[in-house]
Amino acid sequence: MKIYLFICLFIPITILSQNAEKIKKADTIYVFFKRDKNQFFEKNNRIELGNLNYNYIFRINETSQSFMTFVHHYRLTPEERRERKSFLKKNKDIIITYDFLTKYNLGEATELIGHKKKVYLIDKEDISWFSIKLLEVKVIGTWKQSIE
């Protein structure tokens, strides 16, 4: 028993985190979305399939009320695909989380995400036991909420 404890103490522990340089170099990135007070979800429920769209809104900074919006629309971004759940571990360096996004101001976040060839959104609600659903999204803009 003591031998196992001794071996476990000398195994190097590495903490893997998102690397801004890898994200800047990648032409496809993934954004992880978890619904809470800073991450909103809206949908347009019109009868026509061509008008159905989903808006995923991130609040970048609570003090300045800055928001970044991602849109999944069947005419603009029709691609939806399923991947195995192991996809999250393989691509964790290019998956942007809310905590990573809030390290930057609105302009830097737009520069980091807005000019990519493909941006996919991973909604936590769409993660099942064995697979995840990826939605292609477009960054339709960043905006600051007006004070009225």
Q: What is the pLDDT of residues 63-116, one digit of tens each?
A: 657 778 888 877 777 888 999 999 999 999 999 998 888 888 777 887 888 788
Q: State the residue range of the domain holding 111.
A: 18-144
Q: Note whether residue 110 is domain-resident.
A: yes
Q: Note whether residue 132 is domain-resident.
A: yes
- Measured CA to CA, the distance from residue 65 to residue 106 in angstroms comes to 10
Number of domains composing the chain: 1
pLDDT digits (tens, 9 = 90+) for 28-55: 999 999 888 777 776 665 545 555 677 7
* Band of residue 8 on the pLDDT scale cut at 50, 70, 90: very low
| Mean pLDDT (whole number) for 106-133 | 87
DSSP 133: E
Q: Note whether residue 3 is domain-resident.
A: no
pTM: 0.74
